[in-house]
């Protein structure tokens, strides 16, 4: 064997050994990543608590005397799954539980009295709103729509049906679209109720633009990713990373879970556009009501910032959302100052309904207890009953 051939063999052996070493290192690295991911997943699932679960766990303090909250909490968490719904973005998937029930259409169950005359169409009442109207923190039979139905059943003999069209995170624009889509199906109500304020205010602050839905930037990002086929892999990689145990543990360890201040350039202009957007939406609902022959009622809802007497628990909840208070107060105060709006017979500002109440009513900065729901329902039912009496008088 000549020297060149020996050198060639030695070089080949060295290359093979290096390749083997590299593969061993890669193998050990992959093995370690798998082990770390497995440990991180166990920690994320059994040690750390995700934000939604943490929120529900904190809320147990206000439900300490109830015998139903733990089961309600489980059912609410399980029912948070949503499906894509054209135009208004999302609807709940069907769910069946003891306290939370959602139909195939994505509508939460509402307590309604038995229809006496099955041959005639009952008076139909649509009630729109966000998660406060949907009934976060409340059982099916104790949401605002259910309480409205109970009060009506005690004060009128006519057949009626209250339908809860509230949905998690909805702003007034989404509710308007939901109403239009019900009309497109040929389902025309007799009375339509809109209950808004918090989501329209928060989303304007979050997006620095009035009239958008919650987390609109995510929809923009998803659309842009899917427009560029070359970036689809990036989208899938992002999903894989965000569902990994390592990512979930690192996210939990972060001191802040979200950016609290989007630093909008012109806050006063944003306040004005938030209110203008709301006024436009309710104006459109009124015009549609005249076209289809249904009556409309609008309510501006309360928040924890509108309550003077706060319990220790409520004080903790307010402190968490302190970043929003300045913008919230500007919007809410402007709403109060609008004589044109407050003079409307079909508009009621309920923002101060709990102002002097010493009762613990807020589960967080926006959602209220079942007792709070009842107080809101009493105001709505009072106005609905007036409309029913007017209809009865006209029919005589």
pLDDT tens digits for range 93-137: 999 999 999 999 999 999 999 999 888 899 999 999 999 999 999
Chain-centroid distance, C-alpha 184: 24
Of 137, 128, 129, which is closest to residue 75 (Cα–Cα)? Answer: 137
pLDDT tens digits for range 297-346: 999 999 999 999 999 999 999 999 999 999 999 999 999 999 999 999 99
Cα-only R_g, the chain: 27
Q: Please, where are the H alpha helices in the chain?
A: 3-46, 51-59, 69-78, 131-134, 144-155, 172-184, 198-207, 216-227, 232-242, 245-253, 267-292, 312-320, 322-337, 339-342, 370-395
Return left, alpha or beta for 335; rule: phi > 0 is left, psi -120 to 50 is alpha, else beta.
alpha
The residues near 27 (Cβ < 8 Å, ≥ 6 apart) are none
Question: Do 299 and 348 touch, CB atoms closer than 8 A?
Answer: yes
Say how far apart CA 178 and CA 283 lie, in whole Å: 16
3-state secondary structure at position 115: coil
DSSP 165-233: ---TT--HHHHHHHHHHHHHTT---SEEEEEESHHHHHHHHHHTSTTPPTTHHHHHHHHHHHH-GGGHH
* Residue 261 pLDDT exceeds 60: no
Q: Which residues pair with 299 in a beta bridge?
A: 195, 348
Say how far apart CA 351 and CA 355 lie, in whole Å: 8
pLDDT band for position 294 (cuts 50, 70, 90): very high
pTM: 0.83
* Residue 52 pLDDT exceeds 80: no
pLDDT tens digits for range 150-183: 999 999 999 999 999 999 999 999 999 999 999 9
Of 205, 31, 141, 210, which is closest to residue 370 (Cα–Cα)? Answer: 141
Handedness of CA 302, 306, 310, 313 (dihedral sign): positive
3-state secondary structure at position 48: coil
Question: Do 123 and 115 touch, CB atoms closer than 8 A?
Answer: no
Say how far apart CA 274 and CA 263 lie, in whole Å: 16
């Amino acid at each position: 064997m000549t020297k060149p051939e020996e050198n060639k063999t030695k070089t080949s052996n060295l290359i093979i050994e290096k390749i083997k070493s590299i593969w061993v290192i890669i193998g050990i690295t992959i093995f370690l990543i798998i082990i770390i991911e497995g440990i991180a997943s166990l920690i994320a699932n059994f040690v750390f608590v995700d934000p939604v679960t943490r929120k529900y766990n904190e809320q147990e303090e206000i439900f300490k005397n109830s015998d139903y909250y733990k089961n309600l909490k489980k059912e609410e968490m399980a029912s948070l799954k949503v499906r894509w719904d054209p135009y208004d973005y999302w609807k709940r998937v069907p769910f069946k539980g003891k306290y939370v029930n959602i139909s195939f259409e994505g509508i939460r169950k509402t307590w309604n009295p038995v229809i006496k005359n099955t041959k005639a169409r009952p008076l139909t009442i649509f009630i729109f709103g966000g998660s406060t109207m949907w009934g976060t923190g409340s059982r099916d039979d104790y949401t605002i729509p259910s309480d409205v139905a109970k009060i009506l059943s005690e004060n009128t003999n006519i057949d009626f049906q209250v339908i809860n069209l509230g949905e998690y995170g909805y702003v007034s624009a989404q509710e308007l679209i939901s109403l239009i889509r019900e009309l497109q199906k040929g389902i025309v109500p007799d009375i339509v109720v809109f209950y808004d304020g918090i989501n329209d205010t928060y989303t304007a602050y979050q997006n620095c633009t009035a009239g958008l839905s919650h987390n609109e930037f995510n929809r923009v990002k998803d659309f842009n990713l899917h427009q560029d086929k070359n970036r689809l892999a990036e989208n899938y990689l992002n999903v894989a990373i965000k569902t990994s145990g390592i990512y979930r543990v690192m996210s939990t360890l972060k001191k802040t879970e979200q950016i609290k201040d989007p630093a909008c350039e012109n806050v006063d202009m944003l306040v004005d556009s938030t209110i203008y957007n709301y006024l436009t939406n309710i104006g459109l609902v009124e015009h549609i009501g005249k076209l289809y022959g249904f009556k409309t009622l609008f309510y501006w809802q309360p928040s924890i910032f509108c309550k003077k007497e706060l319990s220790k628990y409520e004080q903790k909840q307010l402190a968490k959302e302190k970043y929003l208070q300045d913008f919230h107060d500007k919007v809410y105060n402007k709403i109060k100052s609008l004589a044109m709006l407050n003079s409307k017979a079909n508009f009621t500002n309920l923002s101060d309904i709990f102002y002097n109440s010493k009762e613990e009513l807020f589960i967080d900065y926006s959602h209220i207890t079942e007792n709070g729901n009842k107080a809101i329902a009493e105001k709505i039912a009072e106005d609905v009953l007036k409309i029913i009496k007017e209809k009865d008088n006209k029919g005589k």
